[in-house]
Structure 1
Amino acid sequence: DFEDYLLADSSWQSMCSSQTIPVAVTTDFTTYIEQRSLELSEQLALVSSLMAEKKLVDVRIENELLIITPLTNAVPKEVDGFSRKVHSLLPRIKLTDLLVEVDSWTQFTKHFTHLHSGEQVSDKVVLLSALLADGINLGLTRMADAT
């Protein structure tokens, strides 16, 4: 049960007040963002020096454009046929139906409530379709057309 992995609210509040949250990063945003900015600057300086020394494999700058050599396909061609066979064995279902089934296990959609009334969503398929459309950058109009 997912809830078993969560801290009790009283434990969480105690950790927050005593500033003993057991994570590998600082919980203070300002300190965290300063550390990340410093690390980013250091990494960018390293990449810049490697680029200047032409020590980055398959990476170069030509006509002020960053050129990265595409990776070669490491998967043997025989895998394509096998992949098609495996794919043909899978049941054909709509992705929203799969999301509804997963929601029946996780109760994920119970957290989507109306801003003012606090009511839970009445049509989970519509909610999940909207989330899916946004998640795959399809957009609501094209998703509506597709369904």
Structure 2
Amino acid sequence: MSDIVIDRQAAIDDQHLPSQAQLTQWVGDVLAGHPDDPRRELTIRFVDADESQTLNRDYRGKDKPTNVLSFPFENPPGMALPLLGDLVICHAVVAREAEEQHKTLAHHYAHMVIHGTLHLLGYDHMDDDEAEAMEQCERVLLAALGIADPYAT
């Protein structure tokens, strides 16, 4: 999907962050399942634990860093912009989770980007039915990339 525009921002210096090509592939895989949605632009910002914690506290009321935060863009009335929103990903949390869960860092990043992009599209996991629908989308998308089910026990 060449029409995807990702503003990749790194507020940290780490050579282990996903490349622009990886981000475009993962986001493109999600958006391919939503061909009628014209929104194709987003920002993905990689941050440290302090910035993640501040944002998580200020926007979600949880005073700790988290793996990914999703901020969907809301079009002003009467304007149709192609903006999907922003993902903020904390490298320290993703790296720690990957190690704890015995996953490669790239596979866990793929999961976090796919998960966050689904949130930007309106998916949620606040109740069991929503969670199952969202997790099933993630499983299918990750399997197509050769990545194991992240929810398998």
Instruction: Give the alignment's TM-score, normalised by structure 2.
Output: 0.22
Structure ID, larger Rg: 1
* Higher relative strand content: 2
* Higher relative helix content: 1
